[in-house]
């Protein structure tokens, strides 16, 4: 559990500042579950430059509660949570100073989004909150007011959690939470999980990920792990002390995240990751007469592949579908073994490439049109689909036919501007396996839309 915090102060000498406004949002990594926002009477004057910056003046604070009147509420909302702030050292110091004046020792674990941003967004020109969120296309209102800045920090932190593909943030927080405590029962663990699509991570007492997977129903899938028979299920039941998760909004994002994070984290109970997720292909090559021929075959490193499949049966089915849809020649594509023309020629479904009646250029253009529809190779596109919450959408970026990464956005201008799009995208490794995941999904499922992008 996290608490996203922002504080406005009077300004003045070091350790003599007073709090003028505070905003705290209790955040479970996915949504805000509690919040506390209040002006605070600092019992001292505000520096003029601060008044100009924040718009908060002495008159506004005369009837506001003093810090000792809100101190208990702050303790309650931050209990058993990690304090997250932009420049956390400042906000944490101010809070500790205020509690010290009351004779109370306030201690919380902290995470600074400035430090995280430097690690996870190294290309940013500035790490000030305003400039950073603007470069990421994150909307911010009431800048230099506690709640406006806190809301922007929540959106930034969600993006950083998504970019943290090796899960170093989660691991450190979970290890801290489980030190010296009894582990919760499996029933309690399952009860806290959502019945939604995403990736789940099973952690041991040290916070290490010992198993991860994806599911369209995280709660149901984890429950199966705990109730199944078998040696692996028994080990997971014994060693799992916490299950964390990431909602993805749709299965394609979940598949890509699972693929990437299995390679990065290598959980001990997932087994060895296969080098290739496919065994068969549809290849393309010109025949002796120059006609482009498609062929369903076993994986061949020398062949120019168009699509990839888990079986020869799946490859042949797709080839048959393409041939029928685009009036391609069954004989050229290895579907028919006819000695002369293919049977589709008699039915008018083949235009005679098999007997060289159709010109090469016309036939090959239809083949290329088919490839354009069913392959992502050489494409510059963004695949848009459902996000993790209402109003949010997901984006998968593909450049020159290579998967570049994925992210989430609220506003259309975040994907219409290539520079903003690339900054919100979590960079991921694109290879034959990721192309296989994407193309296999697109053959079976519809997405919201696919946008072409200009380089």
Q: Which sequence spans correspond to the domains of the chain?
A: 2-163, 168-265, 280-374, 381-452
Fold topology of 2-163: Nucleotidyltransferase; domain 5 (3.30.420)
30 alpha-carbon distance from chain centroid: 12
Residue 347: Cβ within 10 Å count? 8
Q: What pLDDT score does 348 carry?
A: 73
* pLDDT one digit per residue (tens) for the chain, 455 residues: 899 999 999 888 777 788 999 999 999 888 899 999 999 998 888 888 888 888 888 888 889 999 999 999 999 999 989 999 998 888 888 898 889 889 988 888 888 888 888 888 888 888 889 888 888 888 778 778 888 899 999 999 988 888 887 777 777 766 555 443 334 567 778 888 998 999 999 999 888 999 999 999 998 899 888 877 778 888 888 899 889 999 999 999 999 999 999 988 899 999 877 778 899 999 999 988 899 999 999 998 888 999 999 999 999 999 999 998 998 988 888 887 777 777 777 677 777 777 788 889 999 999 999 999 999 988 999 999 999 988 899 999 999 999 999 999 887 767 777 788 888 888 999 999 999 999 999 998 899 999 988 76
Residue 129 CA: distances (Å) to CA of 125, 177, 200, 395 = 12, 28, 30, 24
Paired residues of 282 in beta bridges: 296, 307
- What is the full DSSP assignment across 236-253? HHHH--EEEEEE-SSHHH
Residue 214 CA: distances (Å) to CA of 77, 82, 259: 32, 26, 9
d(CA 15, CA 229): 59
Cα–Cα distance measured from residue 162 to residue 112, given in angstroms and rounded to the nearest whole number = 16
Which is it for strands 292-298 and 280-286: parallel, antiparallel or unpaired? antiparallel
Q: Do 2-163 and 168-265 show the same overall fold?
A: no
168-265: CATH homologous superfamily?
A: GIY-YIG endonuclease (3.40.1440.10)
The C-alpha atoms of residue 176 and residue 180 are separated, in whole angstroms, by 9
Instruction: Determine contact, residues 335/319, Cβ cutoff 8 Å.
Output: yes
Tokens of 331: 């004989």
DSSP E strands: which ranges in 56-174? Answer: 82-85, 110-112
What pLDDT, on the 0 to 100 scale, is given for residue 201?
95
389 phi and psi angles, rounded to 5 deg: -150, 165
In the three-class reduction of DSSP (H, G, I as helix; E, B as strand; rest coil), residue 79 is classed as coil
CA dihedral 418, 421, 422, 425 (to 10 degrees): -160
Cα 143 to chain centroid distance, Å, stands at: 27
Which residues neighbour 431 within 8 Å (Cβ) at sequence distance 6 or greater?
403
- Residue 182: what pLDDT? 33
Collect all residues with Cβ–Cβ distance below 8 Å to 435 and sequence separation of at least 6. 308, 376, 377, 401, 402, 403
Contact between 438 and 397 under an 8 Å Cβ cutoff? The reply is no
Q: Are 397 and 422 in contact (CB under 8 A)?
A: yes
Angle at 151 between CA 147 and CA 154, to 5 degrees: 140
Per-residue burial over 97-120, b = 16 or more CB atoms within 10 Å of its CB, e = otherwise: bbbeeeeeebebebbbbbebbeeb
What is the DSSP pairing of strand 82-85 with strand 2-9? parallel
Strands 381-386 and 292-298: unpaired
Alpha-carbon distance of 117 to 114, in angstroms, equals 5
């Amino acid at each position: 559990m996290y608490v996203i915090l922002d504080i406005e102060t009077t300004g003045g000498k070091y350790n003599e500042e007073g709090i003028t406004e505070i905003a705290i949002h209790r955040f479970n990594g996915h949504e805000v579950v509690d919040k506390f926002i209040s002006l605070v009477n600092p019992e001292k004057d505000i520096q003029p430059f601060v008044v100009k910056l924040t718009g908060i003046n002495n008159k506004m604070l005369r009837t506001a509660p003093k810090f000792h009147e809100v101190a208990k509420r702050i303790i309650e909302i931050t209990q058993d949570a990690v304090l997250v702030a932009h420049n956390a050292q400042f906000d944490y110091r101010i809070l500790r100073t205020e509690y010290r004046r009351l004779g109370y020792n306030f201690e919380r674990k902290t995470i600074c989004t400035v430090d995280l941003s430097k690690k996870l967004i190294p290309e940013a020109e500035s790490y000030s909150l305003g400039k950073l969120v603007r470069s990421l296309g994150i909307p911010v209102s009431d800048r230099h007011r506690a709640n406006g800045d806190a809301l922007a920090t929540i959106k930034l932190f969600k993006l950083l959690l998504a970019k943290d593909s090796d899960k170093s943030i989660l691991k450190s927080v979970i290890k801290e939470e489980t030190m010296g405590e009894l582990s919760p029962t499996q029933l309690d663990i399952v009860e806290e999980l959502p019945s939604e699509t995403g990736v789940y991570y099973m952690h041991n007492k040290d916070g290490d990920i010992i198993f991860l997977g994806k599911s369209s129903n995280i709660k149901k899938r984890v429950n199966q792990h705990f109730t199944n028979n078998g040696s692996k299920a028994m080990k997971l039941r014994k060693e799992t002390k916490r299950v964390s998760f990431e909602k993805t909004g749709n299965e394609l994002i979940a598949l890509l995240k699972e693929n990437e994070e299995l390679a990065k984290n290598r959980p001990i109970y997932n087994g060895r990751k296969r080098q290739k997720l496919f065994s068969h292909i549809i290849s393309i090559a010109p025949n002796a007469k120059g006609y482009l021929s498609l062929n369903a075959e076993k994986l061949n490193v020398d062949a120019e592949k168009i699509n990839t499949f888990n079986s020869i049966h799946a490859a042949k089915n797709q080839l048959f579908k393409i041939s029928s849809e685009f009036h391609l020649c069954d004989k050229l594509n290895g579907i028919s073994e006819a000695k002369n023309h293919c049977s589709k020629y008699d039915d008018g479904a083949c235009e005679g490439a098999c007997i060289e009646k159709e010109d090469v250029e016309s036939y090959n253009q239809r083949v290329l049109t088919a490839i354009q529809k069913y392959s992502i190779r050489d494409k510059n596109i963004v695949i848009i689909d459902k996000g993790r919450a209402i109003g949010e959408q997901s984006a998968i970026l593909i450049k020159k036919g290579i998967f570049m990464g994925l992210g989430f956005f609220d506003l259309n201008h975040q994907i219409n501007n290539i520079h903003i799009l690339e900054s919100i995208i979590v960079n991921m490794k694109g290879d034959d396996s990721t192309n296989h995941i994407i193309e296999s999904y697109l053959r079976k499922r519809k997405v919201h839309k696919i946008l072409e992008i200009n380089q």
